[in-house]
Structure 1
Amino acid sequence: MNQPRSATRSWVGPYGRLLSHPVLRRVLPGMLVSALGDGMSVVAVAWLAVQISPSGQAGVWTGLAVAAYALPAPLGAALLARLMRRLRAARLVAADATLRAVGLGSVALLAVAGLLDPVVYVALLALSSLLHAWGSAGAYTLIAELLPEEDRVTGNALLSTFTQAAYVVGPALAGGLTALIGPGWVIGVDAASFAVLAAAGWSISTRPAAAGETVAAGRVATLGGESAESRESAESGESAESGESADGGVVPEAGAWRTILDRPRLLGLILVTCAFFFLYGPVEVALPVHVAHELHGSPDLLGLYWTVFGIGATAGGLAGAALLRNRPPWRVVVGIIIGWGAALLPLGLTDAVAPGLAGLAVGGLIYGPFTAICTALFQRSTPPQALSRVLAARSALTIPSTALGTLLGGPVVTAMGGRPTLLISALLTIALGVSVAAVLWHARRGRRVS
């Protein structure tokens, strides 16, 4: 009888500590609201592109609009590194949210006024996403700065769960609002949500830490063995000559890519994540085509597919991180990749709706902890003074991977159809997971022999 209560306390405890943190209590509501806005944009961005596209060019401009919402992130990570790497984590979040609010707000104003054309639309979407890699890195770096190591997976899980939960509520809410008031107004709501996050981020970054907070941080958390005082120096933008690594050794200040290249496991994790997301990309094209043309279903059925996925991902993100926190992280990553591929098989093998819905629900449950587990691996292995830059470099590669897969998925679906494309994605994803497992097994075996 005491065992369930103990398990419940172990699950709730980290979230209680997270939500009681004074800084996170201010910024997390903004992150939740902006995630909901992004969930609404899944419908609104594409629908507005269809409405303003010239006759016969809806597919082209819709693809460009969806890609523009993600693909400029690598440019922002590379071209603005000298400027952005000097900012503290909260300022990275605030800068990204501010640019999002301005870019999307401009789209909304022009759309409502009837003055928006496709070229300007794509350009403004691209502008709004320019700092997204830095904003994502800033959010997870903030978790690493503020929480002890044992609570970071939980913090990562909460952030990724915001995004996953937004896919449950956001598209459904956007569908109704788009029909009622139009997609331009919905994008305006998205812009307002980022304005809320920007206000929260700027308020945190401009408020110096109290002496008591600094002492407490030194007591309860160190980042890879680094002292609170050293971390404050790095956060304030001062150029540190060296920092401490996870094993206590001295690591010279280095660029993000050098830090990654010096740690083969981090490089491998980035490549695996890119491949995983790339193989997922065609699903976003194939599933709508499968529902509309092969199942002759309605938009409500498509929404139901994404809703069950979002529910599964939300549950997996919240509970999975707590249940898997003591498991070997790389084994969890491999299990998630293989599990997601297996969950797609019902969609690729049959036209029956029920197995497909069950598969996506289970797939969401399996995928839920993926972002939290991967981010924890980075937080554990990266010197604290380089963490935000390393996470930005990772985001610069992983964020566009899905968009590139989606762009490739268009011609594949046209040539082969929706269901065969889903089957190919499932089989290749399983093959990816098995390949990663084989590489890890050989590496472990080699270490034992040596």
Structure 2
Amino acid sequence: MPRVSLLSVLRTRPTFARLWLGALVSGLGDTLSWLALTWFVLERTGGGAAVGALLLCFALPAVVTGPLWGRSLDRSQPAPLMRLDNLARAGLIVLIPLLDALGTLELWTVFVISALMGALAPATQVGARLFVPALLPDEELEQGNAAYSLTTQVPTVLGPALAGLLVAAWGAPRALLVDALSFLFMAWALGSLPRLPRGGRAVGRTETARGRRWTPAVLATLGLTTLFYFVYGPLEAALPVFARESLGTGAQGYGALWSALGVGSLFGTLLVGPLSRAFPVSLTLAAIMALWGVAVTGLAFAPGVGPALAVMFAGGLIWGPYTALETTLLQRRVPSGEHGRLFGVRAMLLGPAAPLGTALGGVLLIGLRAEWVIALSGLGCVLGALAALPWLRRRGGAGADPATG
């Protein structure tokens, strides 16, 4: 397989680069909205339960709308639906600062707007997965997905600092105007996308015309990723408590832990190419989940902030390649005419997985110390990876060419 770099894909594929830039700007806006809205709700209510309800408002609608958007994207041209999604979400997010300026903003209104935005979001999330393999040749697919995964990873490093500055300067509601602009920018970026073939049964990149659909390896990969997100969730609930009570640090140290994870994930993304060439992708996914679990378990026993930062960086390095490798495997294993349905189901599964895991972590914290909740999260990842391994090794999984998983 010709060796291509992430940067060369962005440099030589202008249409893909425009989609990538739009997604990156939109990702920064989404991070800003997440921080601004959670801060707004926390100020209004003074409790974490309302913040958890807000996050569920964003996540749970995808359980219903993810598959519906997926089927629509398979049957219709994706770009117009994606533009409609971004324009609609821009209009919805503007309502919050507008109602706040009029003095009529209520908490329930924020929850309703958040739920509507969560219902719309899978259109672009799924649609982008259809365009990456359509815009790139097969040998560039891993690096293209790696580049696209940066549109969610970079905002985790830069977004919180930007959001904090804007919320402090303007207040949470007015800071959301920046997110509205990011949606409009994404709608502009979608204007260059080509029409995709529709109506026939397109064949996946590694399938024959009579080939399999949704093999056990595909189902196992979806199950592995859903479990990964869910078992990761308790870490989000326990980490702030762990930072305060076990590490003896405040908000600054807590933020540094997440930043270390984000920086590690950026470097980990650069490993997508070497890993895809060296190992079967399905087994690499299981190994990433298991190694992440080992790192998280080690975090529970970190003796201070410095070692904890090192462990979080290592965890990000391990996690970084996961999404790009998993997406590439699914794109190659399922016929392209079913990619919308496939990634719609994926959005349905993953949307609530981490929030529900976080809720479980909150329940566990009632009776357990934070470090034990973190250790249980890590152990769950190790055991989940081992449980999925037999399914991933089935024919069409580990036995395939390393480049295809």
Q: Does 1:108 align with 2:100?
A: no
User: What amino acid is aligned across from residue 27 of structure 1 in structure 2?
Assistant: L
Mark the runs of 5 or more structure 2 residues left unpaired by the alignment: 400-405
User: What amino acid is aligned across from residue 67 of structure 1 in structure 2?
Assistant: L
Report what 1:178 is aligned to. Answer: 167
User: What amino acid is aligned across from residue 374 of structure 1 in structure 2?
Assistant: E
Contact 2:231 2:377 in 1 (8 A): yes
- How many residue pairs end up in the alignment? 396
CA distance in 1, matches of 2:99, 2:11: 39
CA distance in 1, matches of 2:103, 2:317: 42
Q: Does 1:249 align with 2:209?
A: yes
Report what 2:12 is aligned to. Answer: 20
Of the three residues 124, 131, 134, the one matched with 2:123 is 134
CA distance in 2, matches of 1:272, 1:40: 29
CA distance in 2, matches of 1:286, 1:140: 32
Report what 2:402 is aligned to. Answer: none
Of the three residues 278, 290, 295, the one matched with 1:343 is 295
CA offsets 1:103-161 (integer angstroms, 9 cap, x no match): 22222322344432221111100101112223211112110111111111111111111
320 and 91 in structure 1: CA distance in 2 versus 1, 3 angstrom threshold: farther
Contact 1:89 1:388 in 2 (8 A): no
User: What amino acid is aligned across from residue 324 of structure 1 in structure 2?
Assistant: L
138 and 84 in structure 1: CA distance in 2 versus 1, 3 angstrom threshold: closer
Q: Does 1:145 align with 2:115?
A: no
Contact 1:134 1:388 in 2 (8 A): no
Report what 1:255 is aligned to. Answer: none
**TM-score between the two structures when normalised by the length of structure 2:** 0.90
User: What amino acid is aligned across from residue 192 of structure 2 in structure 1?
Assistant: I
Q: Does 1:70 align with 2:59?
A: yes
Contact 1:45 1:66 in 2 (8 A): no
CA distance in 2, matches of 1:385, 1:440: 23
Of the three residues 143, 154, 168, the one matched with 2:143 is 154
| Greater Cα offset, 107-116 or 344-353 | 107-116
Report what 2:21 is aligned to. Answer: 29
User: What amino acid is aligned across from residue 42 of structure 2 in structure 1?
Assistant: V
User: What amino acid is aligned across from residue 160 of structure 1 in structure 2?
Assistant: S
Of the three residues 175, 179, 184, the one matched with 1:190 is 179
Contact 1:308 1:361 in 2 (8 A): yes
Aligned positions of 1:79-98 closer than 5 A: 79-80=68-69, 83-98=72-87
Contact 2:232 2:354 in 1 (8 A): yes
Aligned positions of 1:317-332 closer than 5 A: 317=269, 319-326=270-277, 327-332=279-284
Contact 1:165 1:313 in 2 (8 A): no
Superposition deviation, residue 81 in structure 1: 5.4
* DSSP 3-state at the match of 1:37: helix
38 and 351 in structure 1: CA distance in 2 versus 1, 3 angstrom threshold: farther
Report what 2:349 is aligned to. Answer: 397
Aligned positions of 1:253-292 closer than 5 A: 259-260=213-214, 263-292=215-244
Superposition deviation, residue 351 in structure 1: 4.5
Q: Does 1:427 align with 2:391?
A: no
Superposition deviation, residue 38 in structure 1: 1.8
Superposition deviation, residue 433 in structure 1: 1.8
Report what 1:225 is aligned to. Answer: none
Superposition deviation, residue 72 in structure 1: 1.1
CA offsets 1:333-355 (integer angstroms, 9 cap, x no match): 01110111111123212452122
84 and 376 in structure 1: CA distance in 2 versus 1, 3 angstrom threshold: closer
* DSSP 3-state at the match of 1:297: coil
* DSSP 3-state at the match of 1:129: helix
Q: Does 1:233 align with 2:225?
A: no
User: What amino acid is aligned across from residue 249 of structure 1 in structure 2?
Assistant: A
State percent identity of aligned pairs: 30
426 and 174 in structure 1: CA distance in 2 versus 1, 3 angstrom threshold: same
Using CA pairs below 8 Å that are at least 6 residues apart, which structure has the higher relative contact order? 2
| Greater Cα offset, 345-354 or 130-139 | 345-354
434 and 414 in structure 1: CA distance in 2 versus 1, 3 angstrom threshold: same
Superposition deviation, residue 446 in structure 1: 12
CA distance in 2, matches of 1:440, 1:391: 19
Superposition deviation, residue 414 in structure 1: 2.6
CA distance in 1, matches of 2:111, 2:356: 16
* DSSP 3-state at the match of 1:349: coil
331 and 408 in structure 1: CA distance in 2 versus 1, 3 angstrom threshold: same
CA distance in 2, matches of 1:32, 1:442: 36
Superposition deviation, residue 417 in structure 1: 3.0
User: What amino acid is aligned across from residue 207 of structure 2 in structure 1?
Assistant: D
Report what 1:222 is aligned to. Answer: none
Contact 1:52 1:117 in 2 (8 A): no
Superposition deviation, residue 440 in structure 1: 4.5
Report what 2:336 is aligned to. Answer: 384
Of the three residues 84, 100, 118, the one matched with 2:107 is 118
Contact 1:41 1:187 in 2 (8 A): yes
444 and 267 in structure 1: CA distance in 2 versus 1, 3 angstrom threshold: closer
CA distance in 1, matches of 2:297, 2:211: 45
CA distance in 2, matches of 1:64, 1:446: 40
CA offsets 1:357-412 (integer angstroms, 9 cap, x no match): 11110000110010000001111111111112211211221122111111222211
User: What amino acid is aligned across from residue 383 of structure 2 in structure 1?
Assistant: A
Q: Does 1:40 align with 2:32?
A: yes
RMSD of aligned residue pairs (Cα, Å): 2.5
Contact 1:94 1:200 in 2 (8 A): no
* DSSP 3-state at the match of 1:247: coil
Mark the runs of 5 or more structure 1 residues left unpaired by the alignment: 1-8, 210-231, 253-258
370 and 284 in structure 1: CA distance in 2 versus 1, 3 angstrom threshold: same
CA offsets 1:318-346 (integer angstroms, 9 cap, x no match): x1112212121012101110111111123
Report what 1:164 is aligned to. Answer: 153
CA distance in 1, matches of 2:396, 2:186: 44
**TM-score between the two structures when normalised by the length of structure 1:** 0.81
